[in-house]
Amino acid sequence: MTNSDTLLVFDEAVTPAGVEGWIRHLESAGAPIEMYRLGGTHVLPVADGDLIDKAAPGLPAPTHRVPRSTEVFLGRRELRPSGTEVSFGPTTIGDGSVTVIAGPCAVESPEQTLATAAAVAEHGAVGLRGGVFKPRTSPHSFQGLQWDGLDLLAEAREQTGLPVVTEVVDPEHVKRLAGVVDGLQIGARNMQNFALLTAAGQSGLPVVLKRGFGCTVEETIGAAEYLLLEGNDQVVLCERGIRTFEPSARFTLDLTAVALWKQRTHLPVIVDPSHSGGKPELVEPLSLAAIAVGADALLIDVHVQPEQALCDGAQAIRPEQFADLMGRLAPMAAALGRRMSGAS
């Protein structure tokens, strides 16, 4: 395949017979066959423009054709100009509403997890986050409750009705996690763990792909391609701060990346103001800015007792602060002609 190919894009309305017909048409001309599926969308790269113009009668017309101008192409906005909606349990990310997913950095105990889940649900979160496998800089730090934590997430979902997302750190864990949770998170430290991306893509679950803190906007789009290549279009790009020369915050939130991903890709974008700022007092301003720049969703660390947290307590906000934040987000969403997800 070359960058001069034309991509024939067929939306959900195309029948299997229609796609088969195109493949036979190309085969009969001796053209190389490649076919990609992106959820319900089919993408067929064609090198020879004549084969498109002289298509056999009766073949379905593509929804649109776009030049394959870049090697990485499945996430490009042109393929799905209206954008992709991601179904995270009953919650939709990317439908124009402002989606807030909140919860503890790590699942630590039944009391902490269930109390935090109840609090974020009460104040309007429409998804619950919680790490059970924690990728820590030091091997001596709390590594998460691991499989024991998974049952707690399931219990929190049962009690609150919130869909749950958790980080996956090992391709071997994907199947078991996917049997319980509603969404998988690929952490910043694993953004380019390609075997993990492929396994997560194959799960068919929505995947929150966190940008590596030393990775570029385009490298993140490249990493997303590994998920998309598995036919899984349920991908949410996450900006969580990058490493810069600035030591005043844990990382520097790159809001330019949010605007660029919204322009360049059809994928929804979530911003994590907690891991980027690393301070409770930065969560609100960064969240408001993220929504203003076009983020679809926010991923926020909330803890009932941040001072007792086993992981990232220094950045977690308390339930009361989360309630205040939700109260500040609603008028911002309204000013942008958007609604808060889950709000009636």
Name the residues that contact ligand PEP, by CB under 6 A: 105, 131, 135, 167, 187-189, 210, 240, 272, 275
Nearer to ligand PEP among residue 157 and residue 275 (C-beta) = 275
Rg of the chain over all Cα atoms, to the nearest angstrom = 21
Element (H, E) at 103: strand 99-103
Q: Which is nearer to Mn ion, 296 or 312 (CB)?
A: 312
User: Tokens standing for 193?
Assistant: 């763990």
Given a contact cutoff of 8 angstroms between Cβ atoms, the answer to whether 243 and 48 are in contact is no
What's the residue count for the chain?
Answer: 344
In the set 105, 165, 191, 200, which binds Mn ion (CB under 5 A)?
Answer: 105
Which residue number, 68 or 129, has a Cβ lying nearer to Mn ion?
Answer: 129
Joined together, the tokens standing for residue 247 give 């030591």
d(C-alpha 125, C-alpha 246), whole Å: 31
Do residues 194 and 215 touch, judged by C-beta distance below 8 A? no
Provide the minimum distance between the beta carbon of 112 and ligand PEP in the complex, in angstroms, as a whole number: 15
Q: How far is the CB of 240 from ligand PEP (least distance, A)?
A: 4
User: Quick one: 245 exposed, middle or buried, by C-beta within 10 A (0-12, 13-18, 19+)?
Assistant: exposed
Which of Mn ion, ligand PEP, none lies near 188, with the C-beta cut-off 5 to 8 A by kind? Answer: ligand PEP
Q: Contact between 340 and Mn ion (CB under 5 A)?
A: no
Shortest Å distance, C-beta 242 to ligand PEP: 11
CB of 143 to ligand PEP, least distance (A): 12
- Measured between alpha carbons, how far is 283 from 324 in angstroms, rounded to an integer? 11
In contact, 241 and 249? CB cutoff 8 Å: yes
Q: Which residue is nearest to ligand PEP (CB)?
A: 187
C-alpha 327/C-alpha 319 separation (Å) is: 12
**Residues 76, 218: Cα–Cα separation, whole Å:** 11
Q: Binds 240, which of ligand PEP, Mn ion, none (CB < 5 to 8 A, cut-off by type)?
A: ligand PEP
Indicate the residue among 39 and 127 with the shorter CB distance to ligand PEP.
Answer: 127
Site map 49..78 versus Mn ion, x via CB under 5 A: ------------------------------
User: Which residue bears the tokens 């009953």?
Assistant: 90
Cα gap 303→125, rounded to integer Å: 14
| 220 and 188 Cβ atoms separated by less than 8 Å | no
- Least Cβ distance, residue 277 to ligand PEP (angstroms): 12
* CA 109 – CA 90 distance, rounded (Å): 26
Cα distance between residue 147 and residue 137, in whole Å: 20
Instruction: Return the number of the residue (55 or 188) whose C-beta is nearest ligand PEP.
Output: 188
Q: How far is the CB of 167 from ligand PEP (least distance, A)?
A: 6
Shortest reach from residue 142's CB to Mn ion, in Å: 11
Q: How many residues bind Mn ion (CB under 5 A)?
A: 2
CB of 236 to ligand PEP, least distance (A): 13
> Where does this chain touch Mn ion (CB under 5 A) — which range of 53-61, 101-109, 247-255, 319-327?
101-109
- Cβ proximity to ligand PEP, 76 vs 211, nearer residue: 211
* Residue window 283-322: x/- pattern of binding to Mn ion, with contact defined by CB under 5 A: -----------------------------x----------
CA–CA gap between residue 296 and residue 329 (Å, rounded): 12
Q: Taking CB within 5 to 8 Å according to partner kind, which of Mn ion, ligand PEP, none is near residue 25?
A: none
Cα 296 from Cα 236, distance rounded (Å): 9
Residues that bind Mn ion (CB under 5 A): 105, 312
